[in-house]
Structure 1
Amino acid sequence: MSSSATLTIRELGGLDELVLTPPLARSIWGEDDQPEDPVLLLTVQRTGGLIAGAVDEDGQLWAYLVGLPTTQADTQHSHRLGVHPARRHQRLGERLKRFQRDWCLQRGIQHVRWTFDPLLLVNAHLNIHRLGASVRTFLPNYYGQMKGINAGAPSDRFEAEWTLGSERTAAHLAGGTPERWPSQVFRPLVDNIPDRLPATLAVSMPPDFYRLLREDRVQALEWRRMTGPLFTRLFEQGFALTDVNFSREQYLFTSGIPRGTGC
């Protein structure tokens, strides 16, 4: 197998390449996943959307991204981003998002939004810490009952907001971590939500929610049950998810940051 460095990140061209996305989707999200029809993806591409992938020298597709136009000309909705299990931990997701950023900025698109599972620490680390997106919106059971690797728990989602040209995005893409972390950590399964919230709140997260869902569904559902009200309250009171510490398994929520600052 070729290394990740030899993979080319580019737009996919024509049906011959777009037909590679359904089998890749099933290898990522499960055999009962319902991927987008390649003809539909072709239409999306021809009407202003982005279909990009990581392709090796033999034309094999190992990761892909789908970006959709929205009613706001300066905003794209990132609908799909997936990496083949054999290619994980090679930063292909980050390379695709960087490609998406460049592609959007060249076309005057300043913002990208997408949803992701609030309890997937590795996804949050990419989205918030490495890319510099932030979250202000919690969507309970957004997709209803799901299949594949998402089956068995309510489909709660965060909505990520990525301001492509902001100083925050540039700092995180360059490896900067300007946020300050509090010493006290809130544990959703143990601690009660305090009546008075501090200006910054560190919240512990499960290290691998998908594994927990497979091996201990009761505890996985308890994480869903206990974090939903917490996220709802934090966002209602003006907090934003501003950073993720992967090694500590923690999220950082910060209050009082005005919109329009890239956070």
Structure 2
Amino acid sequence: MSLTVEANPAARQAEEAAAAAAARAGVRVVDEHDRERLRDVEELLISIWGMSPHGAPVPFDLLRSISHAGCNVSAAYRTDGVLCGAAVGIVSPGGRATYSLIAGVLPGTADKGVGFALKQHQRAWSLARGIDTMTWTFDPLVSRNARFNLTKLGAHATEYARDFYGEMQDDINANDESDRLVAVWPLTSTRSVNCSEGKVEEPQLPEADLVRILEYGPDSDPLLRETPGALWCRAPQDIVALRAANPTEASQWRLTIRGIFESAFASGYSATGVTRTGWYRLTKTSQA
């Protein structure tokens, strides 16, 4: 895969946006190949997700192989040289898309822009190689990640994957079923370009008198609302804490959200954004 930054305006824009995002976050983001630093990446991922019976989230030997194969291990370093974030991506057959396996930041680093800088670096890496789409999966119950993916980056989702990994036993997923939304990030779309430059379209939940409540959640509050041309579905405020405190209610959330998304996607809706308060906006695919 040859680099195309000089000949490709989209790749140039992505490179500039990635550099600006890293500067705002106060980090240096690089394609990491150094063997010992890849060991640090493994340790960072363990510090975020913990160890499972299967081992590290992405073990060192796999990181080493991914890097050696010419795929992407992005690492973010603070000005003092401390590793504070990492993202790992592989390329689908034929070089049609980058598949992002994992991305995370050092605990306590959230809201500093490091995750955004990592994703913009992955975007630039992909476009420099003529790849204009990135995909990954995420837990639909984690509203913070959903907002980052669908609102701040400009991705969308039209596929719901039941129990994608089977039962997970790491520190975050805690024996819950591993349902996932499949994020699709069109790297050159107007929306994605705007997001890369900080011009984010924040979805706004319509006023109560303009919506029809279709369903209530496990907490007895409105869960699914309908407005002309859109559905609005609420995720729980903190599913990780809820799993620990009340696994039965957490399971109820899983099943309820599963039914809503599967029905909505089958009816032609696409998840195109998430509000700051955790409401998904679902619009007809033709309107996305």
Alignment match of 1:204 (pick from 210, 229, 234): 234
Distance 1:192 1:171 in 2: 30
Distance 1:161 1:88 in 2: 23
Distance 1:177 1:193 in 2: 22
Paired residues, number: 255
Structure 1 pair 192/216, CA: closer, same or farther in 2 (3 Å)? Answer: closer
Q: Residue 162 of structure 1 aligns with which residue?
A: 185
Q: The residue matched to 1:144 in structure 2 has which SS?
A: coil
Q: How does 1:1-263 map to 2 (within 5 A)?
A: 5-32=25-52, 34-148=56-170, 149-173=172-196, 174-177=198-201, 181-183=205-207, 184=211, 187-189=216-218, 190=220, 199-246=229-276, 248-257=277-286, 263=288
Q: The residue matched to 1:19 in structure 2 has which SS?
A: helix
Structure 1 residue 58 displacement after superposition: 4.7
Structure 1 residue 126 displacement after superposition: 0.6
Contact kept, 8 Å, 1:209 with 1:220, in 2: the verdict is yes
Distance 2:112 2:267 in 1: 37
Distance 1:251 1:120 in 2: 11
**Can you list the C-alpha shifts for 1:68-104, whole angstroms capped at 9, x where unaligned?**
1111412010001011112122121111001111111
Distance 2:99 2:166 in 1: 20
Q: Residue 6 of structure 2 aligns with which residue?
A: none
Structure 1 residue 198 displacement after superposition: 5.4
Distance 1:179 1:93 in 2: 21
- Read off the aligned partner of 2:245 and give its amino acid letter: E
Structure 1 residue 187 displacement after superposition: 4.0
Structure 1 pair 36/179, CA: closer, same or farther in 2 (3 Å)? Answer: closer
Distance 2:202 2:169 in 1: 38
Contact kept, 8 Å, 1:11 with 1:53, in 2: the verdict is yes
Structure 1 residue 188 displacement after superposition: 3.8
Distance 1:188 1:72 in 2: 43
Q: TM-score, normalised by structure 2?
A: 0.81
Between 1:164-173 and 1:176-185, the stretch displaced more is 176-185
Q: Residue 15 of structure 2 aligns with which residue?
A: none
Distance 1:87 1:122 in 2: 14
**Can you list the C-alpha shifts for 1:19-75, whole angstroms capped at 9, x where unaligned?**
112221111012335332323222212323100011134543211000011114120
Distance 2:281 2:200 in 1: 15
Q: TM-score, normalised by structure 1?
A: 0.88
Q: Provide the aligned C-alpha RMSD in A.
A: 2.4
- Read off the aligned partner of 1:9 and give its amino acid letter: V
Distance 2:137 2:273 in 1: 16
Contact kept, 8 Å, 2:223 with 2:233, in 1: the verdict is no
Structure 1 pair 118/108, CA: closer, same or farther in 2 (3 Å)? Answer: same
